[in-house]
Amino acid sequence: MTQKFVGAAVALLLHGCALAPGMYMEPATSPNVKILPITADLVFSFEKTSKQQYLKSLVERDGKEKDSYLYRIGPHDILNITVWDHPELTIPAGEYRSVEAAGHLVAEDGTIFYPYAGQVRVAGKTVAEVRTILTNSISRAITKPQLDVRVAVFRSQKVYIVGEIKSPGPQPITDTPLSVVDAINQAGGATGEADISNVTLSRAGELLTLNLLATYEKGDISQDIILHDGDIVHVPDRNQQKVFVLGEVARPSSYLMHKGRMSLAEAISDAGGVDRLTANAARVFVIRSKAEISQIFHLDSSSPEALILGDRFQLEPRDVVYVDAAGLTRWNRVIQQLLPTTQLLQNISTIESQSLR
């Protein structure tokens, strides 16, 4: 009976690598997930591919809007209307009279009341259009009136800046185009814990990501788009910008990306490098899983071009870097686990042999 146990233990030793503890990246994977080798062509394609086609079209549209931007008056705005040489038609703003009290409040229905003009619909119109309407209306009572209209207080349109911002909250849209960077600066700027490389903008059910780090460092104004009424800008914290380095490295752990960037070579270096005694340098993997796509990338770090490819291959938040163990390392670990069992079986065999004498 004992000989059968010993024979089974020997069989386990012979198949030690297959039974080694821990994760092992088999060459054959699920049909839904393929292992892609990290090559120069793959790195180049990642660098060249546009991340957001929707953002591109949105930027093109907003660029045209910025060139021809005109503020349109809305409910709750306060207008300041001045008729030169006719002080009776102008509400004076004195030392003890606020701008709000000295102006004309646009009602909820989008109208204001003005002498000689009556109830005038101003919502959705520009300042120039309102000036023309009022000038034509009071011309019946005043000869060649010189009239000026401006928005004294902007209340009808706003955007919301939330997240890692010093003074989060609503920001008004005025007669000057308001971009994402402008809105964040008006809210006091981002905090030290902010991740400005992954700012999200919610607009009319669409959610897109903006890399404002590219705007600040490279002058990429395509990321700094013009905001519309009701837009929500969220600046996340950088704690989500982590990668995980596991396997045969000196310090397996999670590591924060610096300004939203980290290459594969940097991640392994931060983890203390590959363990030369236990690792299989030819089997370095990056596991990337998104909402609908899962990918595994493989780098043969024993090749001469590995250092260049590892430095150019950019990781994404929540990527898992795994350095596989060498075959001999797995064999030794199996032996270490099975050795106490084989010793126990050998002791039992010895005791049985002595009892039969």
Is the per-residue pLDDT at 122 higher than 90? Answer: yes
Domain final position from 238, 263, 287? 238
The pTM (predicted TM-score) of the whole model is: 0.67
Tell me: the pLDDT tens digits for 18-75? 555 555 555 545 556 678 888 888 888 877 664 444 455 555 555 556 667 889 999 9
Asked whether residue 16 is assigned to any structural domain, the reply reads: yes
The answer to whether the beta carbons of residues 322 and 8 sit under 8 Å apart is no
- Please tell me whether residues 179 and 127 are part of one structural domain: no
How confident is residue 78, by pLDDT bands cut at 50, 70 and 90? Answer: very high
Asked whether residue 172 is assigned to any structural domain, the reply reads: yes
CA angle 354, 355, 357 (to 5 degrees): 70
Q: Which residues contact 112 (CB under 8 A, 6 or more apart)?
A: 79, 104, 105, 106, 119, 120, 122
Torsion sign (Cα): 288, 289, 293, 294: positive
Asked whether residue 343 is assigned to any structural domain, the reply reads: no
- Which is nearest to 119 in space by CA: 131, 132, 134? 134
pLDDT of residue 211: 87
| DSSP run (H or E) holding 232 | strand 232-235
- Please tell me whether residues 125 and 82 are part of one structural domain: yes
- Please tell me whether residues 230 and 255 are part of one structural domain: no
- Please tell me whether residues 213 and 190 are part of one structural domain: yes
- Please tell me whether residues 261 and 228 are part of one structural domain: no
Average pLDDT, the chain: 81
Tell me: the pLDDT tens digits for 192-223? 889 898 899 999 888 988 888 888 887 878 88
Asked whether residue 71 is assigned to any structural domain, the reply reads: no
Q: How many domains does the chain have?
A: 3
CATH number at residue 201: 3.10.560.10
Q: How far apart are CA 253 and CA 272, in angstroms?
A: 10
Is the per-residue pLDDT at 356 higher than 80? Answer: no
Domain final position from 172, 204, 238? 238
Domain final position from 122, 153, 184? 153
Arithmetic mean of pLDDT, 258-273 = 89
Is the per-residue pLDDT at 306 higher than 90? Answer: no
- Please tell me whether residues 148 and 100 are part of one structural domain: yes
Is the per-residue pLDDT at 337 higher than 80? Answer: no
Arithmetic mean of pLDDT, 233-245 = 90
Asked whether residue 341 is assigned to any structural domain, the reply reads: no
Is the per-residue pLDDT at 130 higher than 70? Answer: yes
Asked whether residue 344 is assigned to any structural domain, the reply reads: no
Asked whether residue 61 is assigned to any structural domain, the reply reads: no
- Please tell me whether residues 167 and 225 are part of one structural domain: yes
Is the per-residue pLDDT at 12 higher than 50? Answer: no
Q: How far apart are CA 104 and CA 61, in angstroms?
A: 34
Residue ranges making up the domain that contains 314: 2-49+240-330
The pairing of strands 158-163 and 232-235 is: parallel
pLDDT of residue 274: 85
How confident is residue 332, by pLDDT bands cut at 50, 70 and 90? Answer: low
Tell me: the pLDDT tens digits for 131-177? 999 999 999 888 889 999 999 999 999 999 999 999 999 999 999 99
- Please tell me whether residues 232 and 244 are part of one structural domain: no
Asked whether residue 95 is assigned to any structural domain, the reply reads: yes
Structure tokens at 143: 């000869």
pLDDT of residue 186: 95
Arithmetic mean of pLDDT, 267-296 = 85
CATH number at residue 148: 3.30.1950.10
Arithmetic mean of pLDDT, 224-233 = 93
